[in-house]
Each structure stands twice: as structure tokens, then as C-alpha cells.
Amino acid sequence: MDVAIVGGSGYGGVELIRFLYHHPHVDQIKVVSHSKANERFSDIYPHMKDHVDLTMESMSVEAISQYVDVVFFATPANVSSKWMPELIKSGVKCIDLSGDFRLKDQEVYEEWYGYDAADAETLKEAVYGLTEENREAVKQAQLIANPGCYPTATLLGLMPAVHHKLIDLNSIIIDGKTGASGAGRSLSQNVHYSEMNENTKAYKLGAHKHIPEIEQWLSKTASEEVTVQFTPHIVPMTRGIMTTIYGNLSTDYSQQKMNDLYQDYYKNDPFVKVYTNNHYPQTKEVYGSNYCAIAVHVDERTNKLTVISVIDNLVKGASGQAIQNFNIMHGFDEKTGLELLPIFP
């Protein structure tokens, strides 16, 4: 299978290459870059020297659709929406790491992203790639809207309780923490070393584009309109997302029953681990891997459920989940190429 990565010179791109380069079903990788065409990939990422022999190329949409079977987009918002109509018409499968196809309502996209939405016809083709929740649709999809990093951790943390109607859906509060790599490789003041080292700060309160993404999936799952309170924070680490999620319990449910429910819910999902031994997973425990690790706490005193959910933003929160979806779309074992253990410490 031949694949192209558009925006291959960024963090999402280098992670895709880390996993795809030795993927047993991938023959050729085209790394598409406009700013760095003709440069060697290992000159941009010297740790790849002698491992990855690829040169970045500038390719038109026509050339891409002619030469490859699958296109991954690791580009900022407002890029894939421009390329996609032609690619979809040509029959190529596409997996988009950006948010351009995640929100089904064009007005909502325009309000939260500030760009023109993707065209309605192409948007209809998009399948939300939260793998564990949408596996059957992913199997049939031509276009995957790969979820955002915070929504991946949040939704996987909430789904068992939501499906079993154990929390009041309009009481959900999400406290999110991310490392600097979430902002991508391009320079952003938010992640300037001297402003994030030994510092923790909240940002985009009530305005983060992951709010409508989380609400859309919760509302679809619950068949009612759900709103959430979400506050993201940047903490001084490179990789990792932790979401600490609170909700009011809507029924009497013991810690033991909640543990059993969560464990049972994810028993067939190879990349979700549920801890039931009073261990609360840490971001370091999933570093570099495609795992989401979850633990739940039932507080009978306050009648609240707390969920801790951690992922590596660049893997399960982006490139790893994209490859999990790629595997499923093509009938490969979903673990193919992704069975790396986390790096610790």
C-alpha cells in the first residue's frame, strides 16, 4: 500500500513516519511538504538519519491521487478542506488529523475555528475516527476525521458512564492538561520555553475548539443535547494529555460496580487500559504509545464520579489513532505497527 503524508514535516508527520516506516502493509511513503520540498527528511529530523531514507516532495492533488492509495493530512486547520473534494472524488482514502471534518455542522465549525467550513458534500463522507466507539463505521469509511487530542482522552474516559446513563450529562466538567508538543512544531508563544518551564497556565476558557467536538459526540451518543465545561491547561512537559473529568452520579453505584463496568466495557479494546487497584494513571505511563489509560473514582460523600484519562497527544491523540483507523479501514489487525510499549520513566 502506498501512502502520502501532507504536512509531513511537523510533529504529527514525524510520528506517522515513526509508525508507518516499518508497517508491514506499507510499501511506499511520499512525504508532501511545500516549505521543505527536496529536503531530506533526516536533515529536518536528524534522529531519523540512517533509519528513514525519504525526501520531501511538493505534489499536486492530481499527482497524489494518481500515485497513492491513502493520504494522511497532518496540516493545520483550513488546509485539508481545500484538498479533500478532489481526493474523495478520485477514490483515494483519506485520514485527516486536523479538525476540518470533525464538526458536522458547518456553522459550528465556522464559529469555533474562524475559517470557512468544508463543503457539505465532502463533509457528509467524513466518519469520526474515535476508533473504540466507531469501529464499524471506520471499516466502511473513505474519509476519517481523526479526533482531537483532548476529545480522545475525554470521550474514552466518559463513554462507559454515558452509555449506561450513570451521570447527569449536563454536570460534566473537564479539566485538561497538555504538554507543549500539542501546539505543533511551529513557534507559538504559548509554548515558549521561558514561559512554560516551571509554569502552569489555563488557556482558551470557554473558547477551545475541542468543546463543540466533545459535545457533538456526547449528544449523538446520548441522543440529547449535552453541554460541557472544559478548561485546558499547559503544563511543563513535552508529550501527554491528562483529562480529569467530573460528573454528578445519577444513580447509586459503588466503586466496585463502576470498576467492573469500565473494565468490562473496554475488555475487547487493545489500546484502552482500565486500572481498578486505586492506581491513577500518569501521562508518563503512556508516553510514546497508543494507549489510553483510565481509572475511575466514585465519591459517595459528594455523589460525584471522577475519571482520570491519559494519552500521548501525538500517538493515541493523533498519529497512532490515525494508523489504528488506517488498519481497520483496510481489514488489517488494528494493532499492526502500533504495539510499542510506553517509554518510562
Ligand X SMILES: CC(=O)N[C@@H](CCC(=O)OP(=O)(O)O)C(=O)O
Q: Which of 290, 105, 136 is nearest to 212 (CA)?
A: 105
From the list 1, 21, 34, 171, which residue makes contact with ligand NDP (rule: CB under 6 A)? Answer: 34
**Is 284 one of the binding residues for ligand NDP (CB under 6 A)?**
no
Q: Which helix (H) or strand (E) holds 196?
A: helix 193-196
**Is 77 one of the binding residues for ligand NDP (CB under 6 A)?**
yes
- What residue type is assigned to position 319 of the chain? S
**Is 294 one of the binding residues for ligand NDP (CB under 6 A)?**
no
Write down the catalytic residue from 31, 118, 149, 155.
149
From the list 9, 65, 75, 98, which residue makes contact with ligand X (rule: CB under 6 A)? Answer: 98
Shortest distance, position 37 Cβ to ligand NDP, whole Å: 8
Question: Cβ distance 83 to 73 under 8 Å?
Answer: yes
**Is 238 one of the binding residues for ligand X (CB under 6 A)?**
no
**Is 81 one of the binding residues for ligand NDP (CB under 6 A)?**
no
- From ligand NDP, ligand X, none, interface partner of 169 (C-beta below 5 to 8 A by class): none
φ, ψ of residue 129 in degrees (nearest 5): -90, 40
Nearest-10 Cα torsion for 70, 25, 185, 242: 110
From the list 65, 75, 325, 327, which residue makes contact with ligand NDP (rule: CB under 6 A)? Answer: 75
**Is 98 one of the binding residues for ligand NDP (CB under 6 A)?**
yes
How many residues sit close enough to ligand NDP to count as binding (CB under 6 A)? 28
**Is 148 one of the binding residues for ligand X (CB under 6 A)?**
yes
Q: Which three cell numbers stand for residue 216?
A: 457533538
94 given a catalytic annotation: no
- From ligand X, ligand NDP, none, interface partner of 242 (C-beta below 5 to 8 A by class): none
Please name the residues in contact with 154: beta carbons below 8 A apart, sequence gap of 6 or more: 174, 176, 210, 214, 230, 243, 245, 309
SS3 96: strand
Pairing of strands 292-299, 229-234: unpaired
**Is 63 one of the binding residues for ligand NDP (CB under 6 A)?**
no
From the list 4, 5, 56, 149, which residue makes contact with ligand X (rule: CB under 6 A)? Answer: 149
Q: Which is nearer to ligand NDP, 294 or 318 (CB)?
A: 318
**Is 190 one of the binding residues for ligand X (CB under 6 A)?**
yes
**Is 242 one of the binding residues for ligand NDP (CB under 6 A)?**
no
**Is 314 one of the binding residues for ligand NDP (CB under 6 A)?**
yes
DSSP state of 35: S
Pairing of strands 126-128, 229-234: unpaired
Q: Which of 43, 55, 46, 51 is nearest to 19 (CA)?
A: 51
Pairing of strands 241-248, 229-234: unpaired
Is cis: bond before 46, omega within 30 of 0?
no
- From ligand NDP, ligand X, none, interface partner of 30 (C-beta below 5 to 8 A by class): none
Question: Cβ distance 68 to 4 under 8 Å?
Answer: yes
- From ligand NDP, ligand X, none, interface partner of 167 (C-beta below 5 to 8 A by class): none
**E strands within 67-188?**
70-73, 93-96, 126-128, 143-145, 173-178
Q: What angle do CA 101, 105, 107 make, to 5 degrees?
A: 110
Site string for ligand X, 12-51 (x = CB under 6 A): ----------------------------------------
Question: Cβ distance 63 to 87 under 8 Å?
Answer: no
From the list 25, 67, 106, 184, which residue makes contact with ligand NDP (rule: CB under 6 A)? Answer: 184
**Is 311 one of the binding residues for ligand X (CB under 6 A)?**
no
Shortest distance, position 18 Cβ to ligand X, whole Å: 18
Site for ligand NDP in 122-151 (CB under 6 A): 148-149
Active-site residue list = 149
Kindly list the residues in this chain that would bind ligand X in the complex (CB under 6 A): 98-99, 148-149, 178, 182-183, 190-191, 209-210, 232, 234
